[in-house]
Amino acid sequence: MTEERKKLLFTLLRVVVCVVALAYVLHGVTLQDSAELADGRTVRLLGETPTSVTVLIDGQDVALLRDQLAIGEDGSEKITYGLYGAIRRSNPKILLLCLVVFTPVVFLQSLRFKWLLRAQEIHIAYWEAVKLSFAGNFLNFFALGSTGGDVAKAYYISLHTDRKTEAVTTVVLDRVIGLAGLLTTVGLVILLCTRNPQLLAVGYAVAAVWLGLMFAALLLSSERLRSWLASVHLIRRLISLGAEPSAGQGAAPGRLRRLAAWGMGQGYRADKATRRLLRHKSLVLGALAATILLQLFAVCDFVLVCYAMDMDFSGGKMWDYYAVTSTGNIVAAVPISLQGLGTTEATYKHFLLDSHASLSQILCMAMAIRLLHLIWAMPGLLVTMTGAYKPRPEAAAAASSSASVQ
């Protein structure tokens, strides 16, 4: 199977996952509020008070006592809140406040990126890091998956230095540290603050992944492991492919060897860049702290969105919202759907429906969070359209001079 067909099949798979997840999420959603009466009739709900409801019956507004409503198996009244009702009951002032609370997120992300580049001896101004972060975040909305903008971001940063492999590796490491920070915050909140059995299961899985990342970091920094890998026959065989072809060998084997040599060289430089970062413990800890701080701002903002949507905050459920929205971020990072569309909303629905909010409230919350991301990514449109991601002439000259010295 050709590479083009593989990409096409994977894209089709993402579309199918997106459609199936959206079908699951949208099943049962209505536009208008409705209520089921004790006599079995379903009528449109116009308003409610603690003791009565106003419904539409045969074109007439009718006030009924709440004991005239049907009762479900769980003892609650059979009321279905639609999208229009959820939007009408939301608090627009708090939603505007959410835009302000989200302000530090991109700037902390940019600070983390600048620190990681510094560990690779790639020095760019903080404002340049801010522009690159905005550009990457914006392009994530137009790529398949929430990591697609990283490809463009890697290309943009490679324009600022001759250390191309190190620059691209830094973008990958930036994503890994971002994931580690997210796992740290969501894991701590779930395991320490929530008693939801379903969320506790997620917390144990998050803790296992976090420990796996830490174990991988220890392995990368282990000289004993590296010595053992160097002695493995397969590794030595791969290295030998980088040698020049002997006389009489064809052009195809020669190209294969040159390709292998190039791949081994790039892999060596990427590995070296990773180890260089691990040696800068203060920068790694600073980047992780910046990640945890930006995650606190972001997810507290998402919890504020839930509050603006008039969702249930009784009984310590605030921590559940923190855990669920963080879990949604993790799901969105898996490029199995288009922008995590459908899969993220399905995560919210699975954990929050009925026990915390109505389906309409959950969908409105999900749309508000996506809109919040999009609004704060819009400056990246200016960066990409105006070419502001390119290095200034004096900065490019400095980077070239630095590379020549090295």
Say what the pLDDT of residue 375 is: 93
- Phi and psi of 157, rounded to 5°? -70, -30
CA distance 350 to 324: 10
CA distance 349 to 23: 12
Residue 277 zone, left/alpha/beta (φ > 0; ψ -120 to 50; rest)? alpha
Say what the pLDDT of residue 238 is: 53
Task: Give the strand order in the sheet containing 42-48.
Answer: 60-65, 52-57, 42-48, 34-36, 79-80
Which residues of the chain are modeled with pLDDT < 70?
1, 3, 142-149, 220-278, 393-406
Say what the pLDDT of residue 305 is: 96
CA-to-CA dists, residue 6 to 2, 14, 337, 346, angstroms:
6, 12, 16, 27
Model confidence, pTM: 0.78
Write down the residue that tokens 């991301």 correspond to.
373
In the chain, the amino acid numbered 92 is: P
Q: How many whole angstroms from its chain centre is CA 289?
A: 18
Q: What is the pLDDT of residues 70-81, one digit of tens each?
A: 887 777 778 888
CATH of domain 23-80: 2.30.30
CA-to-CA dists, residue 140 to 52, 133, 332, 338, 383, angstroms:
47, 11, 11, 10, 14
Domain spans of the chain, in order of start: 23-80, 96-222+270-405
Q: What is the pLDDT of residues 342-382, one digit of tens each?
A: 999 999 999 998 889 989 999 999 999 999 999 999 999 89
CB neighbours (10 Å) of residue 194? 22
Say what the pLDDT of residue 90 is: 92
60-65 and 79-80 strand pairing: unpaired
